[in-house]
C-alpha cells in the first residue's frame, strides 16, 4: 500500500470519528476512538445478542437432556 493510500484511508477513518489524532512534536499519532464502535454495538448488535444467547442456552439444555 502506498503512503498516499494510507493517508487517504486514515482521513476516511478520522472523518468517521473512528480515529482520534494527537500531535506530539513532529509526530501525528492516530488512536482508536472506541466510542463510535460502542454506539454501533448498542444500536445494532446488542439487540440480537439476547436472542443469540437464549438460543445457545436452549441448545445446551436440549443437548444435556438428550443424554439422560
pLDDT confidence of 4, banded at 50, 70, 90? Answer: very high
pTM over 0.75, yes/no: no
Both 52 and 66 in one domain: the answer is yes
Contact (Cβ atoms closer than 8 angstroms) between residue 15 and residue 30? no
How many domains are contained in the chain?
Answer: 2
Both 39 and 65 in one domain: the answer is yes
Both 39 and 26 in one domain: the answer is no
Contact (Cβ atoms closer than 8 angstroms) between residue 36 and residue 19? no
From the list 14, 13, 18, the residue with the least C-alpha distance to 32 is 18
What is the pLDDT, as a whole number, of residue 68? Answer: 62
What is the pLDDT, as a whole number, of residue 42? Answer: 87
Ranges assigned E (strand) in the chain: 19-24, 27-32
Both 54 and 27 in one domain: the answer is no
pLDDT confidence of 7, banded at 50, 70, 90? Answer: very high
Amino acid at each position: 500500500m502506498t503512503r498516499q493510500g494510507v493517508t487517504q484511508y486514515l482521513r476516511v477513518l478520522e472523518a468517521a470519528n473512528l480515529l482520534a489524532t494527537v500531535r506530539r512534536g513532529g509526530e501525528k499519532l492516530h488512536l482508536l476512538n472506541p466510542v463510535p464502535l460502542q454506539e454501533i454495538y448498542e444500536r445494532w448488535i446488542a439487540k440480537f445478542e439476547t436472542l443469540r444467547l437464549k438460543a445457545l442456552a436452549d441448545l445446551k439444555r436440549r443437548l444435556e437432556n438428550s443424554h439422560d
